[in-house]
């Protein structure tokens, strides 16, 4: 092994991205670039509203059960739609899709892990310089523009 290896040896030595997705080999803008915060948040609001509407079919709004059913429905919708249509309803309406970093089909375990962490909220608000939330990092996914 030569002494000219410039790769980081510790986690803290990894330089931040110049633009979101640079370290992942993704373009700075346009198709296949990392989805930006505005679309991500709007997609999340669409998905949460959808979960609220579906929850109303099972529980009254004023009930304590509604408080628990809504996050479960939200997670279930994510788990069903990410592997089947490439993203949640909110993602797809806004031209976004969830892909596995390793390529290929996202599978079943990634949407489950991603959705469980997303419903805990905190992992979703912790982002790196590639604008990937902790839920995406753990699941090995990235949210891309169309």
What residue ranges do the domains of the chain occupy? 24-145
Please say if the pLDDT value at position 95 is more than 90: yes
Please say if the pLDDT value at position 130 is more than 50: yes
Q: Are residues 75 and 120 in contact, defined by beta-carbon separation less than 8 angstroms?
A: no
Please say if the pLDDT value at position 12 is more than 80: no
Tokens linked to 83: 């592997």
Read off the pLDDT of residues 14-35 as tens digits, 9 standing for 90 and up.
678 889 999 889 999 999 999 9
pLDDT for position 114: 95
Q: How far apart are the first and last CA of the chain?
A: 42
- 110: Cβ–Cβ under 8 A, 6 or more apart, which residues? 82, 83, 98, 100, 139, 140, 141
Rounded to whole angstroms, how far apart are CA atoms 36 and 96? 10
Read off the pLDDT of residues 30-45 as tens digits, 9 standing for 90 and up.
999 999 989 999 999 9
Rounded to whole angstroms, how far apart are CA atoms 135 and 129? 15
Please say if the pLDDT value at position 98 is more than 90: yes
pLDDT for position 128: 87
pLDDT for position 44: 94
Helix, strand, coil shares of the chain, percent, nearest 5, are 50, 10, 40
- Mean pLDDT value across the chain: 90
pLDDT for position 7: 53
pLDDT for position 14: 67
**Which 3-state string (H, E, C) describes 76-144?**
HHHHHHHHHHCCCHHHHHCCEEEEECCCCCCCCHHHHHHHHHHHCCHHHHCECCCCCEHHHHHHCEEEE
Look-up of token digits 């279930």: 76
Q: Choose among 103, 102, 98: nearest CA to 146.
A: 98
């Amino acid at each position: 092994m030569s002494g000219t290896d410039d790769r980081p040896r510790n986690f803290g030595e990894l330089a931040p991205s110049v633009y979101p997705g640079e370290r992942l080999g993704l373009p700075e803008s346009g198709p296949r670039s990392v989805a930006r915060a505005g679309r991500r948040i709007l997609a999340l609001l669409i998905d949460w509203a959808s979960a609220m509407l579906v929850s109303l079919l099972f529980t009254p709004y004023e009930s304590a059960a509604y408080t628990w059913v809504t996050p479960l429905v939200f997670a279930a919708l994510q788990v069903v739609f990410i592997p089947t249509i490439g993203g949640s309803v909110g993602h797809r309406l806004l031209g976004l899709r969830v892909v596995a970093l390793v390529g290929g089909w996202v599978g079943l375990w990634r949407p489950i892990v991603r959705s469980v962490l997303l419903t805990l909220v905190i992992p979703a608000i912790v982002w790196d310089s590639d604008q990937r939330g902790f839920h995406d990092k753990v699941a090995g996914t990235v949210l891309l523009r169309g």
